Structure 1
Amino acid sequence: MNQTAEITTPIKTSDIPQEAFDWYDEYAHGDIDRRTFLSRLGTLGVTGLSLSVIAKSLTPNYAQAEQVSFNDPDITASYIDFAAPSGHGKARGYLVIPKNVNAENPAPAVLVAHENRGLNPYIKDVARRLAKAGFVALAPDALFPLGGYPGNDDEGRAMQRTLDRSKIEGDFMDAARVLKDHELTTGKVGMVGFCFGGYLTNTLAAYIPDVINAGAPYYGTPANDKIDQIKAPLQIHFAEMDKRVNDTWPAYEEALKANNVDYVAYTYEKTNHGFHNDSTARYDEKNAELAWARTLAFFNENLTS
C-alpha cells in the first residue's frame, strides 16, 4: 500500500474495502487488538488512500457528530446523578428536556443506551435529537463508576470491559425507573440503543417489562433470557453487512414469534454495523435518516397515546 498518498477530500464509504469495515468491527468489539487491526489494513492496496487515512476515517471524529447543539434554545441539557441499587449503587446520566416541558405539561421519555465505550459525544447528541423531537431523554454513562467517559473511545472500550455487565444492566434499569417516575414525564418510557446499547434495549424490554413501553435496538444482540416476559413492541434495526449481529437474529426472531411479541425488523441494504453513527465512515446518511424517522414515528405511536 502506498502510505504517502494522503488525501484531503472526505472519504466515501464506497472508497473503503469491506474488509476494512469488518476488521474495524472486530477491533471495536475486542476480538483483535489495535496492532492487528492496523496490520491488516496495511495489506489493503487502495489507490490514493494511505493506511493512516483509512484508519482515521474508520475511527470516530466527534466534531462531525453534532446535529443538535448543547445550546439549542429548544432544549435544556444537564447531568444528573441517581441512585442505582440494582447496579453500582450510584449512576450518572445526561438528561435533556424539551423547552416546553414542565410538571403541568409532561412528555414521554426515552432512555438512550450507548455502545461499548461509554457516553461519547455521538450518544449525547442522540439524546438531544430526541429532546428536540419532544421527548425527555436520559443517556446514562456506564463508565461513571470509573470516572466517566474518558474522552476517547479506545480507553472507554477498555474501561467498560472491566465492569460487571450485570451491574451495567442494573444501572440502566434504574435509569429507566427514574424516567418513569420523573415529574416531567408522562410515565411512558421508550428505549433506543446502539450496538451494546441495542443489547441493553433487548434486555431491559425482557427484564423490566412494566417499565419499558417501546424498544428500538440498533444492531444489538438478543436478551439472554426472559424473552417470554417482553410486553413492549420492538422496532429492530439491522445493518446488512453486520454478520456478527445478524447471525443471532434467526433464533431471536423465533423466540419473539413463539412468545407473541409485537415486533418489526428492518435490514438496511449495503450498510455496516454502526451505520447510524455519523462520526465515522460507516455512517450511511440515507439509511440512518430513514431508520431515525422510523424510530421517532414508533415512539410517537407507542408513547404518546
Structure 2
Amino acid sequence: MASAALLSKKRALVLGIDQYADKASTLQICVVDAIDLGKALRDIKFEVSQETNCSYTRFKEMIDDFMRKIQNGDFIVFYFAGHGLQSDDKNYLLSSDYCYDHSIDEKSYLSKNAANAQNILHQINAKRPRYIIFILDCCRTKQIRGNPTSSLASMNPTSETLLVYSCGAGQGALDDAQIGRNSHISVNAKWTQNGVTIAGGDGGGDATNQLYCPEGLFVDDNQTVVIADFYNHRVVQWKKGNTTNGQVVAGDKGQGNGLNQLDRPNNVLVDKETDNLIICDPAN
C-alpha cells in the first residue's frame, strides 16, 4: 500500500468576491486576484477548488466539499479576497449576499450569514495536513457600508501554518483597478508564523543535535520527523516534543556501500503497513 507521503496532495480553496448585495460595497479586483492565483497554483500542480461572487450557501458548500477532500499530510492553501470584518475577536468573511441592515443584532446576523475564519482554519487543522498557507486578503480600503475600516482580529496558527493578512493593524488593502490588474499587499502587511525548530538548529555537524546538509524528510502520523542527513550518511528521527537530540535509525557507519552504510541519502519514507524505512541512497 502506498505511504501517506505518496498519497498526499497539494490542494487549494480560492474564493474571490467583488459583487455584494449592497451595491455601494462593490469591489473591483478581488475576483481577478482569485482567478490569477488559482491559475498560478494550478501551474505548480495544486488541485484547485475555486468560486467567485458566491452566496453564503454556496460559500459553505465550497468549504464543506474542500474539507472532505483534505487528507493527512496534504499541503493546503486557503485564499479569500473580498470584504471581511471582526466582531468579538472573531474574523468573518463576507459572501456576495451579505447585507446587514442594522435592524437585528449584528453578532447574531454574522454567525448565521458570514463564514468564521477561525473555524475554517480549525477545520483544516483537524485534518492534519502537513503545511497550511492561510491568506486573508480582506480589510479593503472600501469597506462594507456601515462598518469602518479596521484590521482583522489576531489568530493563533499552529506551527505548520503560515497566516497572511493583506494589511497591518488599522490599514486597508487597496481595491482600485487603476493600480493594475491585481491588488497590492500593503507595505504594512502582517506575516504571522509561529515557527519552531524541530530538528537540528545547532550548526552543521554529526552530533545527535546536529544535521549536515539535510535533504528529504518524512513526517509520520505521530509527527515524528525522519530526515535524510545527506553528508552525515545517515537517517535521523526526531520525535515530537524532543527538539534537543535526534536518534540515528540508519547508517552513521561512515560513507560506503555496506549493508550498515549509506552514501549521501537524499530522501526517506516510512511504510505504515510494514513499519519499514525506505531510503533513497542514490550513490549506491
> TM range, normalised to the smaller chain?
0.3 to 0.5
Higher relative contact order (CA 8 A, sep 6+): 1
Larger Rg: 2
The structure with more strand, counted as a fraction of residues: 2
